[in-house]
Copies of this chain bind each other. A is one copy, B any other.
Amino acid sequence: MFFSKTFGYAVRATAFVALYSENESRVGLREISEALDIPHHFLGKIMQDLVRHGVLESMKGPHGGFSVNERTADIKLSEILQITDGTLALETCAIGVRKCNPDRPCLVHNDLAAFKAVMVRSLSTRTIHELTIQLKEGKSFLF
């Protein structure tokens, strides 16, 4: 796939926290990892990273856990991808060793080009807020 597993884990966990940490309550790592079926130590590292980058807040100790901050709702998928993967894996040609180059399309380039545009746009447009709405309306699912 063009996303790492880490990215999927990060997006789902962030959306999960956004859904369940309203009114000051926090969501524990264990709770997230069990609900979303993600190895919890591994998720721990990812959460640290998200907190470090200001996507979420965390608190240690009893009743500790993860919660949203002012920015969370407006975080775009592309920001999370930047944190987890560094870059979108669609820059290199799907079947080549070189960079994808529209002036020198490979055998599957044209099948990919339109999709790539859709995906880039989607990632840089959709926010956590938008995702939670979809989830609440039952239009998409976290697990």
Report A's interface with B, CB cutoff 8 A: 1-3, 7-8, 11-12, 15, 36-38, 77, 89-90, 92-98, 104-109, 111-112, 114-115, 118-119, 122, 126, 131, 134-135, 139-143
Residues of B within 8 A of A15 (CB): 107
Given A11-B107, A109-B140, A142-B106 in contact, is the A1-B92 Cβ separation under 8 Å? yes
Given A1-B2, A2-B1, A2-B2, A122–B96 Cβ distance below 8 Å? Answer: no
Given A8-B97, A106-B140, A107-B131, 14 more A-B residue pairs with CB atoms under 8 Å apart are: A1-B89, A1-B92, A1-B94, A2-B94, A8-B93, A11-B107, A12-B96, A96-B143, A98-B143, A106-B141, A107-B140, A109-B140, A115-B115, A115-B119
Which chain B residue shows the least CB distance to A38? B97
Copy number in this complex? Answer: 2
Question: Chain A at the B interface: mostly helix, strand, loop or mixed?
Answer: loop
Residues of B within 8 A of A140 (CB): 105-107, 109
Q: B residues within 8 A CB of A3?
A: 94-95
Question: Is A111 in contact with B119, judged by CB distance below 8 angstroms?
Answer: yes
Structural contact, A7 and B107, CB atoms closer than 8 A = no
Query: Chain B nearest CB: distance from A70 CB in Å?
Result: 22
CB distance from A117 to the nearest CB of B (A): 10
The residues of B that contact A126 with a CB separation of less than 8 Å are: 107
- In the complex, chain B residues whose CB is within 8 Å of the CB of A118: 111, 114-115
